[in-house]
Structure formats: structure tokens, C-alpha cells
A and B are shown apart, each in its own frame.
Chain A
């Protein structure tokens, strides 16, 4: 189980990067440049709140997992 926890860290890091890429290119940036006010608010929330939380948080979580920080203590 500890090995699984550790190697899944790579998945979380990959997922964080994938979320960051699609979150910005497909969801956030098109909203920011659409020119509509309601899109701008949504875009700001996606780019400056949701994405940093998902990418930063999940990336850190993945790194901790990969380093074995979540391994069960014997």
C-alpha cells in the first residue's frame, strides 16, 4: 500500500499539470478575453482562484505522496 501511495504521487502531479493546462486554455483564458463582463468575472475566478488551488495544492500533494510522506507508520 505504501508503494501505491508513493507512485500515485506521479498521477497527482500529472493531473495537476493537466488541470492547469486545460483550465487555463479551455476555460479560464477564453473567458478573460471574451470581452463580456459576466465572462470576465468567471474567468478571474477560474484563473486566479480555482486554478492556483487545484494546480498548487494537487502538485504539492503529489510531491508529498511521491516522497513517501503519507506512508503508514509501522
Chain B
């Protein structure tokens, strides 16, 4: 690495804005495409996976979700190599079209009830293609923008690319929200969930038209003209010990911790609110959207600040506060949604029962009984029991399922919004400066490959597996408590719902120590 020469770049601010606009739009759409799958995980579980066991169906989707993340590093290697050999612009055009095509196709696949196991298989293949495309996109966009920006303002300009990840999630939630509210729940469950997937093709086409007219990155074009591009970026990046040790440092000292902080703040929080706190899905999406919207400008704030005080301390501070405050925050989230100390108004209780024919079982039916409890503070709780009857004997019918859904009052809703907002701030601290940090770690000729790999392993593998690992840890704790309760012994876990947090706390803790000891806060700039 070379010391910052404080070079200024000839690109004007106006053209930088248009470059960033075009790059960011495409990246935002790719994130949108990637996230609608996760945001619709519960619906997709019932459509594409056997629904004999809802938990199994949900975990299967999580696994598919993880598969989408696990292939990201391979996309980073494949497209990173192309980007370092033929150019940034053409590579991230390909990733954009691949992502758009795969997303649109997911929206077309018939459900498991129609085509059997072919349905989840096709979804899995398309999800893998999405992961590959995303693996190639981010590094290209971040590198492209950074190579246009002046070296002393890279943090600020690349932070606009960083916004796209959260903005993509935000837009995915908004599109789902609009789709949900513009039709009946039955219509959404039947076909409406496909609309967010179909919309992608229009957005990708618009982005393609904009990106088509962009020029190649000046630094890459110069390196290419001088014959200084790498002939074998994979070998030069990973086979060269000098460079490889920085790939490892970037992974363990920065992106690994950043990845888990990001996924905890944006995904685990959402899953915790929906499945542990049992908050109504629509209200969960609404409050997540508000918290994301409030927190998003801070990506730019911390990106800009990293140009002044350096990248390291901002990212490390983000990891430290996250490690120290996750358990108190999640305990508060849990307590906010509990019904203890709330007074019910029994006369407002309603009971509704609906029976429909079961399309999956000829002659059978499904009875949905909803008991709604109203509380004095405005909280509403719905106990929904679903019971299936079959044409055969009663013994063949599956046991009824009970689902509790809480609709919070305004005050508690805002408490949750603030608690998620704090987590989004942690995300902006660790994520805002990271593109500039990674770009500056590696030289132009192998930058795309070298920065993409630690980014996607940190985020895709360590971050992407967070929901599955955290759910596993929490389930184990709950099982241990149930066993202890049955045996009449002391419960081993006081708060089993918080046990999943050990995964992000430990991973971010290790990353924090490595980052503090091994990473320098000097602005290390490879032109």
C-alpha cells in the first residue's frame, strides 16, 4: 500500500453526481431484487416448500436465503476477475441483467402445489443466480465510483453506493407494503406476492438504459492503455502472499464484524419483531421502513467523516457500541411487545370463524378462527387458530395451529422504531466508510477481485448465516428450558429469546479486536 498522496482527480463534481446516480440506481435495484426474496420469506415458504410443518418450511427458506448469500463470494471471484480484465462498466452491466432476469423469473414459477419439487428447485437455482450477480455488482459499483472520486473524498462519494443496500431493503418493504394494502390478504397470498418480483424487470431495464451510456473508470482505462491490467487477477490477488494477507485482514478485521452488525440491525431485528415478539407483519414492515428511512442519511454522514478522521475508528466504534448494547436493546424490544401489565377490555373481544375448502385435500376444509382481544392502551391481539379437516377419519387431520399476532399502540410502536433506528445507526457507522476502506487497500489492477471477496464473505457468509445461526441458538435455549421445566430443575436460560445474539456479539467482538490491533487509521490510498 502507498501513503495518501492527496491526489485530486479531474472528474468534475457535476459529472461525479451523474456517475454516482447511474451507478447507485443500478446497485439499488440489485439490492431491491435480492431483498424482496428475504422480505417475502414467510409467504414464499408456504408457496414453494411443503407446508406440513411451518417451521420446516420457514427454515427451508432461510436455508435458501443463506444459499443466496453463500454463492456471493463465488460471484465476487467470477465477476471480479472479469472486471479486472475487461473493465468495470461491462461487468456490472452483465450482473444487472442477470439479477433482473432471475428476479423476474422467480415471480413466474408456479407453486409447489402445482409442479411439486420442481418449484423449490427452480427457486433455488434462480436464487443462486441472484447471489452470483450481487457478488459481482457491489465491488464493481464501489470501485467504479471510487476510481472517479478525488482520493481525499472517497469516503463521501462511495457512501452513496453504501446507501443503496439499505435503500434497496426500504424500497422492497415499501413495494410489498403497497402491494399488500392495495388488495385483499387472500389476493396477496394467491398472486399479489408475485408483483414485487415482476416490477423488477421494468426497473432493471431503466437502469440498463442509463448505465449503457457510462464511460469506463478513468483509472482502469489508464491502466489498460498502459498495459498494466492483470492477466490473471485471481492469481495476483489470492496467490500473491503480500496481497492475500490484506484480503484476510479486510475480512477478519472489518467486513466480518460489519456483516453481522448489518444483518443484525436490518434482518435479525425484523425477524425478531415478527417471529419472537409476534408483531403484526404489516406493522413490522411499517416500523422497519420508518427506522430505515430515518437512519439512511447517516451513511453519508459517516462516509464524509471518514475522509476527515480516517475509516478505522468510525467502523470500530460502530462494532463496539453494537456489541455492548445488543442485549439491552433486544430485551427492551421484547418487553415492549409483552402483554403483562396491560388491561384487557373483555366486552370488546370479538370472535370470527371462516371455513373454506382445502384445495390441497379434496373433500377437506380449513377453519380459521380469529379471537381479537382489545386492551385499554390501544394494543390489539389476535389469536388465530387454523384447523384442517380431511375427508377421511379425524385421526388423519393435522393438529390445529395457533398464531398470536400483536398490533401495538402508537407509543409502543415508536419505542420499537427508535430501538431499530439505534441499530441502523450502528449499521451506518460500520458500513458507511467500508467501500472506501476496501478500495484503498488494493491496487487498481486487482481491486475488483480483491475487495469483492472479503466484502462478500464478510457479508454473505458471516452476515447471511446470521438469521439461521441465531434462530438455531435461540431454539436450542428454548428447548433446554422446556426440558428443565419438565424435569423440575432450574431453567438454564433466563431469556432464551436473547441467546441468538451471541453469534453477532462474538463475531463482531473478534473483528473489533483484530481491527483495533492490525488496521492502521492512516488513510492508505492505492490510486
Residue numbers of A with Cβ under 8 A of B are: 1, 4-5, 8, 12, 15, 27, 36-38, 41-42, 45, 49-50, 53, 57-58, 60-61, 64-65, 69-70, 72
Docked-complex contact B249 and A38, CB < 8 angstroms: no
CA distance A41 to B63 in the complex (A): 7
B169 at the interface (CB under 8 A from A): no
> Are B251 and A57 interface neighbours, CB within 8 A?
yes
The CA of A62 and the CA of B462, in the complex, are separated in Å by 19
Pair A64/B248 contact, Cβ less than 8 Å:
yes
Closest partner residue, chain B, to A73 (CB atom): B1
For the complex, is B70 an interface residue (Cβ under 8 Å from A)? yes
What is the interface residue range for chain B against chain A? 20 to 34
Of all chain A residues, which has the CB nearest B251?
Answer: A57
B59 lies within 8 A of A49 (CB): no
Q: Which residues of B contact A49 (CB under 8 A)?
A: 70, 461
Contacting pair A38 B461 (CB below 8 A)? no
**Which residues of B458-486 have CB atoms within 8 Å of chain A's CB atoms?**
461, 465, 468, 472
- Check A58–B63 contact: CB distance below 8 A: no
Please name all residues of chain B whose beta carbon is closer than 8 Å to the beta carbon of A15 when the two chains form the complex.
510
By beta carbon, the residue of chain B nearest A4 is B517
B468 touches A42 (CB 8 A): yes
Provide the bound-state CA to CA distance between A47 and B448, in Å.
28
B56 at the binding interface (Cβ < 8 Å): yes
User: A51 CB to closest chain B CB, in angstroms?
Assistant: 11
Q: Check B465 against A45 for contact (C-beta < 8 Å).
A: yes
Contact A50 B461 (CB under 8 A): yes
CB atoms of B70 and A45 under 8 A apart: yes
| Chain A minimum-CB-distance residue to B247 | A57
**For residue B520, which residues in chain A have a CB less than 8 angstroms away from its CB?**
72
- Tell whether, in the assembled complex, residue B465 and residue A65 are in contact, meaning their CB atoms are under 8 Å apart: no
20 sampled A-B residue pairs with Cβ under 8 A: A1-B517, A8-B513, A27-B472, A36-B56, A37-B60, A38-B59, A38-B63, A41-B63, A41-B67, A42-B59, A42-B63, A42-B468, A42-B472, A45-B67, A45-B465, A45-B468, A50-B465, A57-B248, A70-B249, A70-B518
Q: Nearest Cβ distance between residue B53 and chain A, in whole angstroms?
A: 9
| Cβ proximity bits B221-263 to A, threshold 8 Å, 1 near / 0 not | 0000000000000000000010001001101100000000000
**Beyond A38-B56, A38-B59, A45-B66, is A61–B252 a contact (Cβ under 8 Å)?**
yes
* Chain A neighbourhood of B252, CB < 8 A: 12, 57-58, 61
Decide yes or no whether B438 CB sits under 8 A from chain A: no
Q: A57-B252, A64-B248, A69-B245 are in contact. List 20 more A-B contacts (CB 8 A).
A: A1-B517, A4-B517, A8-B513, A27-B472, A36-B56, A38-B56, A41-B60, A45-B67, A45-B70, A45-B468, A49-B70, A57-B457, A60-B248, A61-B245, A61-B248, A61-B249, A65-B518, A69-B241, A70-B245, A70-B249
Total A-B pairs in contact (CB under 8 Å)? 57
CA distance A2 to B460 in the complex (A): 32
Instruction: Name the interface residues of B54-76: CB closer than 8 Å to any CB of A.
Output: 56, 59-60, 63, 66-67, 70
Residues in B neighbouring A72, C-beta threshold 8 A = 520
Residues of B close to A41: CB separation below 8 A: 60, 63, 67
Report the separation of the CA atoms of residues A6 and B390 in the bound assembly, to the nearest whole angstrom: 68
Could you tell me the distance between the alpha carbons of A13 and B512 in the complex, rounded to whole angstroms? 17
Interface residues of B in 28-79 (CB under 8 A from A): 56, 59-60, 63, 66-67, 70
CA distance A43 to B118 in the complex (A): 23
Interface-centre pick from A15, A70, A72 (highest chain B CB count, 10 A): A70
Chain B positions 509 through 526: 1 when the CB is less than 8 Å from some CB of chain A, otherwise 0: 010011001101000000
Interface string of B446-459 (1 = CB under 8 A from A): 00000000000100
User: Quick one: which of B314-348 are within 8 Å of A by CB?
Assistant: none
Minimum distance in angstroms from B271 CB to a CB of chain A? 16
CA A70 to CA B249, docked complex, whole Å: 9
Instruction: Report how far A36 CA is from B245 CA in the complex, Å.
Output: 39
- The CA of A8 and the CA of B517, in the complex, are separated in Å by 9
Q: In the complex, how many angstroms separate the beta carbon of B279 from the nearest chain A beta carbon?
A: 25
Q: Which residues of B contact A4 (CB under 8 A)?
A: 517
Chain B residue nearest in CB terms to A11: B513
A73 to chain B, nearest CB (A): 10
The 4 lowest CB-CB distance pairs between A and B, nearest first, are A41-B63, A38-B59, A61-B248, A64-B245
Task: Give A30 Cβ to nearest chain B Cβ, in Å.
Answer: 11
Question: A50: which B residues are within 8 A, CB to CB?
Answer: 461, 465
Nearest chain A residue, comparing its CB with the CB of B253: A61
Task: Verify A53–B245 contact, CB threshold 8 A.
Answer: no
Residues of A within 8 Å of B248, CB to CB, are 57, 60-61, 64
- How far, in Å, is B52 (CB) from chain A's closest CB? 12
- Nearest CB in chain A: distance from B259 CB, A: 12
Q: How far is the CA of A30 from the CA of B228 in the complex (A)?
A: 50
